């Protein structure tokens, strides 16, 4: 019924463990009729902010989430993006983030 209504449909999540593409594939396997542009994640919001602010992030996100940041410069970071990525939360990376 929503698709037939004059509404914009969006699927919103706060997940940071997987890319939008991986999420789309998972939802499609579960039977959802969904397009990638209909998904809005916290990583989407983070990427939008990075682009608006024109900053270069240190990405403390799960490796499966990195495709959502393709094309974003990360050399000489001046910002930090934090997601659910326990494997990246160690002394060396945290020290780099704080610097």
pLDDT digits (tens, 9 = 90+) for 30-55: 999 999 999 999 999 999 999 999 99
If 0-12 CB within 10 Å is exposed, 13-18 middle and 19+ buried, where does residue 19 land?
buried
Query: What is the 3-state composition of the chain as percent helix, strand, coil, each rounded to the nearest 5?
Result: 45, 15, 40
pLDDT digits (tens, 9 = 90+) for 76-93: 999 999 999 989 989 999
Structural domain spans, the chain:
2-98
Q: Name the DSSP class of 68.
A: G
Please report the pLDDT score of residue 2 as a whole number: 82
Please report the pLDDT score of residue 90 as a whole number: 92
- Both structure tokens of 93: 């990376």
Domain 2-98 grouped into CATH 1.10.4160: no
């Amino acid at each position: 019924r929503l698709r037939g209504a004059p509404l914009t449909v969006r699927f919103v999540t706060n997940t940071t463990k997987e890319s939008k593409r991986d999420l789309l594939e998972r939802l499609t396997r579960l039977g959802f009729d969904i397009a990638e542009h209909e998904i809005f994640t916290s990583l989407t919001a983070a990427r939008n902010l990075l682009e608006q602010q024109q900053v270069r992030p240190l990405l403390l996100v799960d490796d499966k989430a990195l495709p959502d940041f393709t094309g974003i410069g990360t050399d000489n970071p001046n910002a930090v993006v934090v997601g659910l990525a326990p494997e990246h939360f160690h002394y060396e990376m945290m020290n780099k983030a704080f610097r």
